[in-house]
Amino acid sequence: MNKLIVALIAGVFAAVASAQTPPPPPAAAPAAPAKSEMKKDEMKKDATAAPATTTMSKADADKMAAEKKAADKKAKADKKAAEKQAKADKKAADKKAKADKMAADSKSSTDKAAADKMAAEKKASADKAAADKMAADKAAAPAPKK
């Protein structure tokens, strides 16, 4: 038994020790290939092309501003319509919940009335049965002698 416990403890220590050892270092990454130098003509071409793509004419800027304004206006209208729809949906849901509650209340009151009526009929039937039994017992009993 002691040997088993010692072996178990040794196994736990071995597992912990192996978990604490750092992983082997990664293999050296291959060096990035050297970039080829651009020719002077290509550099000039790139330098002149970049400003041409970022510069916008006034008409294009106005057009983009108008599109952005229209998009903002449409988004605002959509948001307002969504809020209005959500408000209408909530109102309809509240109205339906109120109607359901009223229906449940009226059903429970109808059920209660039916239960009361049934209980009253049962009691009346029991009273009648008791009265009939008393009458039968009286008729069956001999008259007292004097």
The pLDDT of residue 53 is: 47
Distance of alpha carbon 137 from alpha carbon 32, whole angstroms: 119
Distance of alpha carbon 47 from alpha carbon 5, whole angstroms: 76
The pLDDT of residue 42 is: 59
The pLDDT of residue 93 is: 92
Distance of alpha carbon 121 from alpha carbon 113, whole angstroms: 12
Contacts of residue 38, defined as CB under 8 A and 6 or more positions apart, other chains included, come to 46
* Token code pair at residue 123: 């009691």
Q: What is the mean pLDDT of each run of 10 residues along the chain (146 residues)?
A: 91 81 62 51 56 68 92 94 94 92 82 86 88 80 62
The pLDDT of residue 143 is: 61
The pLDDT of residue 34 is: 47
